[in-house]
Structure 1
Amino acid sequence: MNIMDIRKSVVSGSFYPETEEEIKRYIEHFNSNFTIENELQIDVKALIVPHAGYIYSGFTANLAYNISSKKQFENIVVIGPSHRHYLKGASIADFKEYETPLGNIEINQEMIKNLKEKFEFICFDEDAHFEHSTETQAPFIKNYFPNSKIIEIVYGEINYKELSLLIDEILNSKNNLIVISTDLSHFYSLKKANYLDNICLNGIINKDLSLLDKECEACGKIGIKAILASAIKNNYETKFLHYCTSYDRTKDDKSVVGYTSFLVGEKI
């Protein structure tokens, strides 16, 4: 296979470990630190998860993947914001495989072709895929959904309503799972971060888009609004799982980043 056919990992060894053994050790550690007391009465359609280094937000993200893996999916579609590259619309990773330390994941080429034909705002901009917001999800996907194919969509300047139409199209199939990648507030005091993040959390819990337009700060806010718009249209529930900040790891309360995870889906 030509190297150009592979979406190479670009943040392994920094945001997450570069070896399978180390990643498995992280996940085992995460899983030893929680129990689900009751079955969550939700048929999962989407996850909202963070994308910082695993030492900061890995537990929070892992929780969502672990719970949702009770059901397997044919395709996992990861949607995240572009942090380093200006982009109008969204770029879809038009490669054949996605590299992870746990082994490569097949990319669904047919699905890429269909989405590019249906949505004018989707292109393939290779530079957009040097992106950690989406890549940090890939090892979790390979671990919990070993037989799934992956689709990576990185968005830039785009209206959340357009992105929501794309999500609706993807969720027309019960074999697809959406992953919305976002962190919350960045570099405030712990008190201020908790205040701002609480607005975001309430917006997601109550599916209240107006709250997200107030003091909520999230780098993936467009993605959050898009999945909430789809949830409102389809009468999906949102289930809060976890919230933390970088303070829990660093003990620095002067400049923290917030993280959360949610499930989105039909109530059973």
Structure 2
Amino acid sequence: NRKMKDKRGILIVISIVLCIILSLLFSMSKGGMKENKTQEIEEEKIMEERVRKAAVSGRFYPSDEKALRRMIKGCIENAKEEKIKGRIRGLVSPHAGYIFSGRVAAYGYKQLLGGRYGEVFILGPSHYVGFKGASIANATHYETPLGKVRLSERVEDLRREPLIISNEFAHLREHSLEVQIPFLQEVLDNFTIIPIVTGEVDPEELAEVLLRYIDDDSLVIASSDLSHYHPYEKAIELDKNCITSIPDLNFNEMINKCEACGKIPILTLMYIAREKGWEGKLLNYNNSGDTYGDKDRVVGYSSIAFYEKMEEEIEEKDRKFLLGLARETLEKYLKNGSKPVVDEGKIPEKLKEMKGCFVTLEKNHQLRGCIGHILPQKRLYECVIENAINAALNDPRFPPVRYEELKDIEIEISVLSVPKKLNYNSAEDLLEKLTPLRDGVILKSGWRQATYLPQVWEQIPRKEDFLSSLCRKGYMPGDCWRKGETEVYVYRAQVFREE
């Protein structure tokens, strides 16, 4: 019995020791798992965020956040506010150190205060690395003393374009993009960036690529200084070629007579502006002789805006005049074939502008005729006279309107903006870019085309149905809008009708 008890005691001790060892091993394993999990999370975070760190902080602008904000705010407060009748869509902005060019850059960025832009394309020249094409850094964020700014998700699609590469060396030291970002962080909220360093690339081809990605929420910045290291007076003479040719979209003068380190970014913006119908305006010009003092060897700086011109609303009294003119035209023409006698001296100047317009006739709330000019062909009041007659007599969908019907006819007039081509990558992208009730739409395939005014969305609110119906209206296949060869144009309309 004694031996049995001794054996039992030994077994109990061994069991206790084994339990302690197993507990220690389990704890070590659990700690290792936790450590590995933490490491995995950290690695995922590192993989998720690839941050392009500030390269010229402390040299081109202050590295301290508060000092940087004070400097930018001071520049913006001192900049004169220019009145622009439209929405800013592009800027030419300098990229020297802020003590040299910050005051000039502020003229452009001041115009952005209160604006909303989802994406900002920043185009800057490569100062340190030669390469072919245009480069987007393999990064998820750019960082400045004011924080991180995320790159747009669409850079992944852009990187698939043959013209776009990722040359890391081109971005490491490059200041032309970086110096624009703190200004953007100060004046805008909730935006992403598409930072592009340009190498040896055709600006017109680059513009063609970017146009497929630019939408109503986009802003395009071309980063560039002007002439370098000339005497003060000579610099002013040279830079005059730039600051006149850029806003005027004078490509010949810009290419042959303008000295600018960012000529390719500027030309790219100019080609985009020409395609989009944006207008240019010089906001400010100075050189380092004005901003820093030494006038022996100066560098030129400009701030130039491109903007989408705002269509001025037609005033109520002018709307009533046009509706009365359309009614008088129908009364006279359907009765005896004559047109109203108009005293041009009494016509408001606004109604003498070249405009596209449609006249729509309804009888008992049903369409009775609708014809117009999409593009500006005549002065607005003449457009109304001509298309009142056309809508009554020449709409092939209906028999001619009779004089006796006029008492039951209601007149509606639509004054159109100039149509703009809508660039899209796919049928889904096209659907995403259309805005019902705002956009009038033109579909064009070969020699066939058709349009629906913005108010047609009220009858056909679903985008797919709207586009398919418009295809059939133009005697095209119902799915013509899904085919990449169909051109799409959009316009807006000011619509008013008889009460």
Normalising by the residue count of structure 1, what TM-score does the alignment of the two structures yield?
A: 0.94
Tell me which residue corresponds to 1:182: 224
Cα distance, 1:35–1:191 mapped onto 2, change above 3 Å: closer
- Inter-partner Cα distance in structure 2 for 1:249 and 1:231: 30
Aligned with 2:235 (options 165, 188, 193): 193
Provide runs of 4+ in structure 1 moved above 4 Å.
none
Which AA in structure 1 matches 2:198?
Y
Decide whether the 8 Å contact of 2:136 with 2:196 is kept in 1.
Answer: yes
Query: In structure 2, what residue type is equivalent to 1:139?
Result: P
Residue identity in the other structure for 1:69 = L
SS at match of 2:300: strand
Measured against aligned partners, the alpha-carbon deviations of 1:152-185 in whole angstroms (never above 9, x if no partner) come to 10011011111211332232x1111111100000
1:156 paired residue among 199, 220, 225: 199
Query: Where does 1:215-234 land on structure 2 (aligned, <5 Å)?
Result: 215-234=257-276
Contact 1:51 1:132 in 2 (8 A): yes
Question: Aligned pair 1:103/2:154, yes or no?
Answer: no
Distance across 2 between alignment mates of 1:181 and 1:161: 17
Contact 2:163 2:206 in 1 (8 A): no
Gaps of 5+ in 1: none
Alignment of 1:63-212 (within 5 A): 63-108=107-152, 110-117=153-160, 119-129=161-171, 130-171=173-214, 173-212=215-254
Shift of 1:137: 0.7
Give CA-to-partner distance per residue, 1:54-89, whole Å, 9 cap, x none: 001111112211212321111111110000011210
Alignment TM-score, normalising by the size of structure 2 = 0.51
1:124-175 deviation digits (Å, cap 9, x = unpaired): 111111210001011111111231111210011011111211332232x111
Greater gyration radius: 2
* Cα deviation code 1:20-73 (max 9, x no counterpart): 11111112211331342x631122111110000000111111221121232111
The 1-side partners of 2:182 and 2:137 are apart by 16
Task: State percent identity of aligned pairs.
Answer: 36
Partner Cα distance (1:7, 1:59) in 2: 26
In the TM superposition, 1:23-34 aligns within 5 A as: 23-34=68-79
Give 1:212 shift.
1.2
Task: Return the offset for 1:95.
Answer: 1.0
1:167–1:227 CA contact under 8 A, matched in 2: no
Greater relative contact order (CA < 8 Å, ≥ 6 in sequence): 1
> Secondary structure at the residue paired with 2:144?
coil
- Report the alpha carbon displacement of residue 94 of structure 1 after superposing the two structures with TM: 2.4
| AA in 1 matched with 2:253 | L
AA at the equivalent of 2:67: E
Report the counterpart of residue 426 of structure 2 in structure 1.
none
Bigger share in helix: 2
* C-alpha deviation, 1:194, in angstroms: 0.4
C-alpha distance in 2, partners of 1:176/1:213? 26
Give the letter for the 2:305 counterpart. Answer: L
1:50 corresponds to which of 77, 80, 94: 94
Count of residues in Structure 1 that have an aligned counterpart in Structure 2: 264
Q: 1-side partners of 2:286 and 2:209: how far apart?
A: 30
Deviation for aligned residue 1:114: 1.0
The one-letter code sitting in structure 2 at the alignment partner of 1:194 is I
Q: What secondary structure is seen at the aligned counterpart in 2 of 1:158? A: coil
How far off is 1:250 after superposition? Answer: 3.0
CA distance in 2 between counterparts of 1:149 and 1:234 reads 22
Contact 2:226–2:261 (Cα < 8 Å) also in 1:
yes
Inter-partner Cα distance in structure 1 for 2:291 and 2:103: 11
Return 5+ residue gaps in structure 2 as ranges: 1-44, 311-499
Q: Does the 8 Å CA contact 1:66/1:144 hold for their aligned counterparts?
A: yes
Cα distance in structure 2, aligned partners of 1:210 and 1:175 = 30
**What SS does the aligned partner of 1:71 have?**
coil
Contact 1:106 1:149 in 2 (8 A): yes
Amino acid across the alignment from 2:137: A
Deviations 1:87-107 (Å, cap 9, x if unpaired)? 210110221111110111111
1:258, distance to aligned residue in structure 2 (A): 0.1
